[in-house]
Amino acid sequence: MTEQEDPSRDRLKHHFAQRVIHQARQVLEVWQRLQRVEWNAQDMAELTEANLRLLRYAERFDQPEHTLLAQNIEQCLQTVSANRGRLNSAVITELNQLMQRLSRTGLRHSDQFDQMALPPLRKPVYMALQDHDRVERLIQQLDFFGLSAQGFEDAVTFRAAMAERHPALIVMEVDFDGPGVGLELAAEAQAGLEHKIPVLFFSHDDTDTPTRLAAVRAGGQEFFTGTIDASSVLEKVELLTRSAHYEPYKVMVVDDSKAQAIHTEMVLNSAGIVTRAITDPVLAMGELADFQPDLIILDMYMPGCVGTELAKVIRQHERYVSVPIIYLSAEDDLDKQLDAMSEGGDDFLTKPIKPRHLIATVRTRAARARSLRARMVRDSLTGLFNHTHTLQLLEDARFRARRFRQPLAFAMIDIDHFKKVNDTYGHPMGDRVIKSLALFLKQRLRKTDHIGRYGGEEFAVVLPDTDAQSAFRVLDEIRKRFAEIRYPAQPGELSCTFSCGIAELRDGMDIKTLSKRADEALYEAKGGGRNRVEVFG
């Protein structure tokens, strides 16, 4: 038997890799906690220590990808330390990208451990349901999406697991192991926890208000009745357990005083908020298009331009109508503050302002704006961008590609034989397949890639700084993995495939031509037998 075929050696390598994966989880859990608080020296020290342990394990157990990521994270943290603990926008953005890459390492099933896929980088999902066959099916589905799950026979085994390790999320049947026992177990699991564990409750029958109230008090984030659909659970698990897919809020500060702009930047950076400061209000519109902030902070009185005037100019552009504008000024006349807010503003903060007050106001306003914007630009079924906004993102990406002389690829994806899925298994199953592909794409593509639902069973992907061949390699791997998913169904188990067409931006090309070429490549993939990826030309 050769060295490569030695099963004991493979098991040993897998054990070492799991040690590295476990430590990566620790890094991500600290990072997730940092998104809820103002970053301080103690939290940064904990993140630094966790990352150093990851680096040591990755080097000792010969894990090159984790070694490189840990080294890059260490460099960022050293930059913060050298800057006397102060963060800046560049460091926040880079750390966020590194953490996203770290979280994705556990999703790869085609690496050197392909016979024994590494566990995902998240805490497990605990499933306490009476129907054990249903639990097994849900566990299988979660595994396809890089999430580990564990089922339980009774309350005793659930309590034992809770004593050993807390999960990322609990799926709990109200009457698990007895009438009302599930509610009691969930409440018991939350006792003494500073950060509650999200719980998805399930009941076969409709429930009364006291039961639902008890579920809310026990940490219930959702309540399913009648049936519990795998894709619905997946959607909630993805939403509630994501550890590194935090997207920092982006704030543009317009203030003619450089000292004040830098001070505001430092305050917001200390809370992990990315900022861009503009001292010349005339340049604001150009920076808006490039930066795309979640919120704008305007100084009221600037030479040559009053804050309310700039706010009106910003509001004249449809894309920025819903972006919150906060005036920051020493003006303490209440009538003038109210007049300013009636002219395009959403809030008025008076200098000097306490850092915590500024941070809390920005976070609250930015979070609300993101939620509102998501409803406007996203598809309700999948959470992906809608057709109109996808084309807007493609136009933005084309502008940046030309400006920075970078490649840009655009892909069109279509689920094969989708009408047959609807006709044979029903539209709810069709929706389930669409949602699972949407989630699959979100998990396996970069955060910088834009994914849209073009309509029906058709999707579009904008891949900045990517040439056609690189896009082909990524999407072809996703195609292969998506085909492995099995959906429990009647009259028989269902699996689906997709076809994909890719086009690359060329000099002088507009987005209409680019999307037409991607569509022609998709047509070629369909004509070539489906379940394949084709590149235009």
CATH code (residue 519): 3.30.70.270
What is residue 118's DSSP assignment?
Answer: P
Q: Which residues pair with 16 in a beta bridge?
A: none
Tell me if 516 is assigned to some domain.
yes
Which tokens hold the place of 356?
A: 């915590």
Cα torsion at 21, 25, 31, 37 (round to 10°)? -170
Give the number of other CB atoms < 10 A from CB of residue 404.
9
Domain shared by 404 and 529, yes or no:
yes
Q: Tell me the mean pLDDT in the region 131-140.
A: 84
Q: Categorize the per-residue pLDDT at 3 as very low, low, confident or very high, splitting at 50, 70 and 90.
A: very low
Tell me what pLDDT residue 475 has.
96
Domain shared by 80 and 146, yes or no:
no
Residue 510 has pLDDT above 60, yes or no: yes
The enclosing H or E element of 221 equals: strand 220-225
Tell me what pLDDT residue 13 has.
60
Residue 5 has pLDDT above 60, yes or no: no
Pick the residue with more confidence: 15 or 93? 93
Query: Which pairing describes strands 301-302 and 305-306: parallel, antiparallel, or unpaired?
Result: antiparallel
Return the residue matching tokens 């089922």: 151
Tell me if 119 is assigned to some domain.
no
* Residue range 253-270, pLDDT digits in tens: 999 888 888 899 888 888
Domain shared by 80 and 147, yes or no:
no
Residue 37 has pLDDT above 70, yes or no: no
Return the residue matching tokens 């926040």: 92
Q: How far apart are CA 298 and CA 256, in angstroms?
A: 10
Q: Tell me the mean pLDDT in the region 133-153.
A: 80
Q: How far apart are CA 231 and CA 471, in angstroms?
A: 27
Tell me if 116 is assigned to some domain.
no
Tell me what pLDDT residue 106 has.
55
Domain shared by 393 and 527, yes or no:
yes
Tell me what pLDDT residue 111 has.
36
Residue 119 has pLDDT above 50, yes or no: no
What is the number of structural domains in the chain?
4
Tell me if 112 is assigned to some domain.
no
Domain shared by 264 and 360, yes or no:
yes
Domain shared by 29 and 86, yes or no:
yes
* Residue range 427-480, pLDDT digits in tens: 888 988 998 899 889 878 887 899 999 988 999 999 999 999 999 999 999 999
Distance of CA 390 to the CA centre of its chain: 17
Q: Tell me the mean pLDDT in the region 140-160.
A: 84
Return the residue matching tokens 């861009």: 276
Q: How far apart are CA 135 and CA 360, in angstroms?
A: 41
Share of the chain above pLDDT 90, in %: 36
Give the highest mean pLDDT range of 115-119, 373-377, 440-444, 500-504. 500-504
Q: How far apart are CA 84 and CA 81, in angstroms?
A: 5
What is the SS3 assignment for 121? coil
Print the domain residue range for 57.
3-107
Residue 28 has pLDDT above 60, yes or no: yes
Domain shared by 367 and 257, yes or no:
yes
Q: Tell me the mean pLDDT in the region 403-428.
A: 93
CATH code (residue 261): 3.40.50.2300
Residue 526 has pLDDT above 50, yes or no: yes
Q: Categorize the per-residue pLDDT at 44 as very low, low, confident or very high, splitting at 50, 70 and 90.
A: confident
Domain shared by 425 and 326, yes or no:
no
Q: How far apart are CA 292 and CA 4, in angstroms?
A: 51
Domain shared by 317 and 285, yes or no:
yes
Q: Tell me the mean pLDDT in the region 169-186.
A: 93
Tell me what pLDDT residue 146 has.
66
